[in-house]
Structure 1
Amino acid sequence: MEGTEQGRHRLVAAQRIVVKVGSSSLTSAANGSIDAERIEQLVTALAEHRLAGQEIVLVSSGAIAAGLTPLTLARRPKDLATQQAAASVGQGLLMAHYTAAFARRQITVGQVLLTADDVIRRTHYANARRTLSRLLNLGVLPVVNENDTVATDEIRFGDNDRLAALVAHLVRADALVLLSDVDALYDGPPSRPGARRIEVVGGPADLEGVEIGSVGSNVGTGGMVTKVDAARIATVAGIPTLLTSAANAAEGLAGKDVGTWFEARGGRTASRLLWLRHAAEAEGRLVLDEGAVAAVVQRRMSLLPAGVVKVEGRFVAGAAVELVNPAGTAVARGLVNFDSGELPALLGRSTRDLAAELGPDYAREIVHRDDIVLLRTR
């Protein structure tokens, strides 16, 4: 495990950083409305690093919270339609705050609203990456949020922590910073006497026995568990992550010993594989026999027609599907090469026979090994 000081130096030296801030860090504790002073403090910390040459992408919650006061809502609504209405009113107000605050420091910002489809579908994913890259090349500081006005319960990220981790990978960030109203990860509830700050997390073993809260604030959706999950997504993809409070943003970005530092545990993952594992919604399922499960999971081989016993769902070629064992447990996820309507006639047959009968297009795998991510190792 690298030392705390050495690890945090990677944040100071980072060329491109994704910073996520939660609703509770931007709102007043009294009424849940947007707090202009808190935004100013955050912008001051980020602007210093942007003007020093670092590229910053800000993933900001707060649209729904910003819409509460104008709509005379006492608290975050529970029904989806009112949440969408609040987001519609609040998103413009939130961006007005950011635009004015950064403009006072001669920094231009651009709004990027994403839905889960933008990282689930490969063409959308490529478009989002291209837009963000161009904004950064033009010297713009992108402000990203989930498009709550159109997202539904079925197609949403659920929290901006996960979105931030995926955006960090999408823009090939050198580091991710997660800001909330809690200054670090502790080995138990921070309010408990004797709770100890966890300074560095080098891997899953460092979190064994740690109580991680799952309840977010009154104006947000995430809790500490979503932040730890986001850090896991980022670090496995080679992106170190700092978790701390918005009040500690300046110190954290300066490499000071605040918050919890999650060390990167892997190399850069191919974009489509991270997309497939963490963002893709499976459109169908392929039930494999035991031999195919062993081939895919243990020997890392492609999935051939002979090993598939059943097709579930409707999908087109290129869709993400789950590969499940005979008991129905998902063992992997992959991008299928055939439409669901074509597959029943292929199941249980060798590619040689299929090619002889139907032509060379049917000599290919149902799912190529390069388009498979494992969900289980056995």
Structure 2
Amino acid sequence: MALLTPVQRLHLMNGLMMVQQQHAANTLTVVHLLHVRRQACQQQRRRYWVREWLIRRPLYGMYEKLMGELEREDVAGFRNFIRMEPAQFYELLQTIGDRITKQNIWFRKPLEPGLKLSIAFRYYAEGDSYHSLMYSFRVAHNTISKIVLEVSSAIVAELAVERNGSFSTPWAPLVANTCTSDVRPRGDHCTTITRAFMAHVDAEYKFMWIDIGTAGSHSDAQVFNHSELKDAIDNGVIGFPNAAPLPGDDKNVPFFMLGDDAFALRTWMMKPYSTQNLEHDDRIFNYRLSRARRIVENAFGILASRFRCLVPTMHQTPVTVVQIVEACVCLHNLMHMWTQVRYPSMPTMRTRTTKWFLVLGGMVGRSTM
């Protein structure tokens, strides 16, 4: 056998080293898989199918005891507890009950729809942690996390109504705003994701259209420019009200949207004058625009005050947060319709200078909730 040259011996040694490295890697992979399998086999079995104190829910649970007492003795307390009257609660329960009812099986009785709705409403009202709700309602915290998403999805599916076509009345203009809410998804590492919340609010503080999910780092103009609302306006799908005369005048004046300095001036959008070298009429215009801005600011304030879960950082996944926000908006509109509460509306802000009245059609801005 001929002797190998130095170059051939070097290639042979490199090949042997590669084979040994691959063998070592395969060995480590097999050892890791065996370790994982051994851990799975040694994993401790569940000590309880359900904890004993949770089984005593019918005797001491908040839904079975406290809410019954509030309904009989203190209706105002019931309203403060879940943000609506008993009659409204049961009407909504009848509306979405079929969507949140589970099939009754022989080895486990499902939770009542009323209990699920109460847990979700209590979370909307105060934003309590799931563990805190667990000790109050005697339902496991992991079950509560599923209940909140299930009820929120049912509310949105049953109550959300798309608004198509033109505005129905002159005093249902576009009043839009963006609001940022911190979302911290569950996971091994803490990551805060900020999402923008843009809404179309009418003059009576009811939300007519919302858009959630745009990155919070985007500016107001970016959020609006990438929204379906702007595309619908540009394409003529959503039309503005027909031009109408101002009070005390017979000339028709068109309606406009209002925006701040971040937005581009368009034929259907007004923005304030620059703050430098303002004349008297320009200052009046900026003042009227600021008063119109108050409508949407108040709408977001009412929503956050009624549903406190929207105020702090929300620790659910982004998908769950979107469903929760949409459900709160639907409930806000529903309760507004039930109670017929009329907050100070836009017609009460008519100005003495009629030439500025046309800009009270709406606005787009930012608010941090």
Give the structure, 1 or 2, with the largest relative contact order (CA under 8 Å, sep 6 or more): 2
Please classify the TM superposition score into its range, dividing by the shorter chain length: under 0.3
Q: Report the structure, 1 or 2, having the larger helix content.
A: 2
Give TM-score scaled by structure 1 length. Answer: 0.22
Q: Report the structure, 1 or 2, having the larger strand content.
A: 1
